[in-house]
Structure 1
Amino acid sequence: MPDVIFFEYKIFPDNRGFFAELWKQGEYLAAGVPYDFVQMNFSFSKQYVVRGLHYQLKPSEQGKLVTVVKGRVPDIGADIRRGSSWYGKYTDAELTPGVTLWIPPGFTHGFQALEETLFIYLVTKEYYHQRERYIRWDDPEIGIRWPAPDEAILSEKDAKCLPLKEAENSFEYPI
């Protein structure tokens, strides 16, 4: 899917462990991520936890550079930009340590932890509670094929989300 970019970052192992550059502005700019980041988020999720599908309305729309430092997740970005040929479709990538995904503004974001997972993401705009919105994680219109839907553990807010066709949305293509 255009605009969503998959990266594998370099890991430099030695006898002590390893070192990795998770964000290097010049390399990411050259690859098509034309943003600076203003906030870093970190989460721990137990096995089968689903987080998402989350987004923020304009003018607080966020692009997210996401990675896993421990664990394994299918990471989901769903295009909610009206007028996009990809509207209502999603892309997914399995994230493990060493893999990063760029989810641009105008996409929802979510993942399911397939094991205990430590997750880091950099965002392009600060979190603003009043503009946060959610789309139902199992919305049939989007049709995400979660690996373990019957075992999904959801927050109370994620369990009560609206489907895409009813969700508030301020995104037009192109952004």
Structure 2
Amino acid sequence: AGLQTIDSGALSVSTLLLVSFLMFIGASPSSVGGGIRTTTFAITILFIYSVIRGRKHVYIFGRELYQEDVRKSLAVTLVAGFLSISAIVILMQTETASLIAVIFEVFSAFGTSGLSVGLTPHLSTPGKIIIILLMFIGRVGIMYSMLSLRNKNQPKNAIRLPKEKIITG
């Protein structure tokens, strides 16, 4: 990570957006890269496909995926998206950079790719702290970061509440 063979600042906006999306997806599981991970992205896409097809379960290669894995993948994707968008909004307020430069730096930090359009050295102290936190969360992983914040003394599934059907979409 961090080896740049081309100047990222010279890329077109559409290329920067594509690379940003790929950095958000990140590396494969058990690797040292960051991002949401390729398997998490695949499970999220398969879940969306299952919803469109009207299926209650998610299948791949003739196998059904565990609902817990699907739930975790959706949680990781949504939390990562929320964190990234929040970081972009905050950095747009604290920095004097273009939107595409901020987007690229945020997703580069979250994906721990080491790529830059040259904005990083010019960030303010709050901006650098946000980028550092994104790099840490992107590398450690969203699930582990969330698990470290939960209450360890709370018993698992101690109470079950009644179910409710909600109208969606």
Structure number with larger C-alpha Rg: 2
TM-score by length of 2: 0.24
* Structure 1 or 2: more helix by fraction: 2
TM-score by length of 1: 0.24
The higher relative CO (CA closer than 8 Å, separation ≥ 6) is in: 1
